[in-house]
Amino acid sequence: MSIGHTLLGLLESGPRHEYRLKREFVDKFGHDRPLHYGEVYSTMAQLLKNGLVEVEGIEPGGGPERKRYAITDAGITDIGKWLAEPEKPEPYLQSTLYTKVVLALLTGRSAADLLDTQRAEHLRLMRELTVRKRDGDLADQLVCDHALFHLEADLRWLELTTARLDRLAEAIA
């Protein structure tokens, strides 16, 4: 996730100070990815330096003064380009899990046990996400669906690899 583009997108509906930007980020996107104040401050400084936002005003607060940022025309153009670009699909061609399976076979350990343990972990996480999806709002449901579909694909790979372990052992020997 691009924090800068996400903050720009939030600013497009109106100016905000860093504290409010962080709160909105966490409310909308932060269930699984915490955002620290330092990240907000450094990202906003970079966006300001790049001319994508401007300081519209300074608000007094309980602590330090809060800068209120507004998106610039360049920022609107930048977020528009980013939103229009497709994300690169990540095919996981160099999976850590595949590496562990091969190393288990090469070192005489049980790759089947490794795959069983991984399957159990995937199923545990799927149960957790299913509960979260059931209890969540629409945004949380969509995030959970995305994760669940990826986990289902991983489970299919685990089953296929388990079925091919003998052939894989022969191939790498």
- Running along the chain, 173 residues long, what does each successive block of 10 average in pLDDT? 89 92 86 84 95 90 81 95 82 77 90 94 96 92 94 94 94 85
Residue 93: per-residue pLDDT: 59
d(CA 91, CA 41): 33
Does the pTM of the predicted model rise above 0.75? no
Residue 39: per-residue pLDDT: 92
* Alpha carbon distances (Å) from 109 to 36, 140, 150, 160: 41, 39, 27, 19
Residue 84: per-residue pLDDT: 86
Q: CB burial class (10 A; 0-12, 13-18, 19+) of residue 120?
A: exposed
